Structure 1
Amino acid sequence: MPRPTCSRCQRPLGHCLCPLIPNLESRTRVLILQHPSEVGHALNTARLAALGLRNAELRVGERFDDLPQLLAQPDYRACLLFPGDEAVALTGYAPKEKPLLLVVPDGTWRKARKLLHLNPLLAALPRVSLGAVAPSRYRLRKAPEEGALSTIEAIVAALDVLEAPQGFAALLRPFDALIEGQIAAMGEEVFIRNHQR
């Protein structure tokens, strides 16, 4: 029989993260497009990000037929948070500058690229990237390359740059607790053997 789960954070009731999830305001609107393969993942950080930010929305799918409507928000400038040669490093907002609608694909690199391929409108958006970032706190996954972050870490890093001096580190509290809980569940010895570099 499946364990009862929290309907909000979708964690087992004994490990509910809701008390740690903040309720943060941001000028930036965050639209997270999640590949369906990520939904059931135990470390679903995109959901935590969407729950902790008032001005965020999480959509799940491979093809987003309503993308034109989602992107056509007159109060925002839409851009895609995705690395690449044409990506421009994010900087803080200038006074009176229109805030961004930051579109964030969520999935493995392969799945994120597939989302771009299946949604040409996404691929056509101006791209932005993070500058130098702190190493990932995601100690359970080996990053495919230096500077790779989980979705929630990338969103926090982007908002910290865009909206400085306001900080968004509180968004990482449930993420840190999630990682610690997973490590505790597997046992320190297994964690060290499989995940320490």
Structure 2
Amino acid sequence: MEELDEAWNDFVAIDADPPPKREICSRCERPNTACYCSAITPSPIPLRNHLIMLQHPNEVKRCLRTTKIIELSLPPSHYHLYRAKRFTPKRFPDLFALLDSGERENILLFPSPTAVPLASLPPIPEKTGSKSATAYNIVVLDGTWSQAKVMFNSNATLRSMRSVALDNTAPSRYVIRTQPTETCLSTVEAVALLLAHLEEQPDIVELLTSPLKTICDHQINNGAVEHQSKEYLITNGLYGKPLKKRVKKYLDLNLKLNIKDLVC
């Protein structure tokens, strides 16, 4: 009976209120101990083009969203964020007003079969016929690769745009997250390369990726480890899960291409 009384006293002594949460930075929305605001450029990066971010709803659940870096680094007048899987004029009139204004050419960052390399895209749109656009609406899909494909296939407006593919060969600086391949990039890194080229400002790459490095450095200093890409793990026999046929086909093709480059 005495043990029961002691157990009851311990139970009663349990605090009914939830434990205090960590203080959150009101700007970057990260815990104050992991705030990266000091790495954000002091003033917004001036832009000629407009960046339109179409974000998959599930991306909000991620604790580390690199789109916040973009939002804090660009002028609000040239950065637009819309969240959904499907985008219609009725639901997103402001978005379609931007796309249909005719003031800028709409381009989409997506590796479709008809995508042109970023390097081949002129910083200023070429005037064709009656078009006189002097800048771009740069549309970026924010989500996992499978989420981005769903968004692309579900929106005819996106499929009608000229698509652009990055010709990146450098590894991602987002080292605390496992990337699918060696050259896959986070959203902020992809946007940095796009804007650096189309704005003709090479320093944009460092301005936008510096906060990302700050995030990664903090995580690693507090116990996180650097992640290798799935491609690296698979090709080096370090991936323990079974592979799908299309993954094996991709890796076999990639290996053949690399061998061809070495021979040539």
**TM-score bucket (shorter structure):** 0.7 to 0.9
Indicate which of 51, 56, 78 corresponds to 1:30. Answer: 51
**Cα RMSD after superposing both structures:** 2.2
Structure 2: segments with no counterpart, 5+ residues: 1-19, 127-132, 233-264
**Given the alignment of the two structures, is residue 80 of structure 1 paired with residue 141 of structure 2, yes or no?**
no
**In 2, Cα distance between the equivalents of 1:141 and 1:14?**
20
The gaps in structure 1 that reach 5 residues or longer are none
State the SS of the aligned residue for 1:39: helix
- Normalising by the residue count of structure 1, what TM-score does the alignment of the two structures yield? 0.86
Does the CA contact (< 8 Å) of 2:172 and 2:182 recur in 1? no
* Equivalent-residue separation in structure 1 for 2:153 and 2:138 (angstroms): 18
Higher relative contact order (CA 8 A, sep 6+): 1
Distance 1:95 1:107, change over 3 A: closer
Give aligned-pair identity as a percent: 35
With 44-53 and 59-68 compared, the bigger mean Cα shift is at 59-68
Q: Which runs of 4+ in 1 moved over 6 A?
A: none
Which TM-score applies when normalising by structure 2?
Answer: 0.66
Aligned residue pairs total 192
Residues 133 and 157, structure 1, Cα contact 8 Å, conserved in 2: no
Would you say 1:167 and 2:203 are equivalent positions?
yes
Larger-Rg structure: 2
Separation of aligned partners in 2, 1:25 and 1:181 = 28
Aligned 1:1-197 pairs, distance under 5 A: 1-22=20-41, 23-54=44-75, 55-64=78-87, 65-66=91-92, 67-90=95-118, 91-94=121-124, 98-168=134-204, 169-187=206-224, 191=225, 195-196=227-228
Residue 25 of structure 1 and its aligned partner are, at CA, apart by 0.9
In the superposition, relative to structure 1, how do residues 120 and 20 fare at CA in structure 2: closer, same or farther (>3 Å)?
Answer: same
CA distance in 2, matches of 1:149, 1:88: 18
Aligned AA (1:116): F
**Counterparts of 1:75 and 1:116, CA distance in 2:** 23
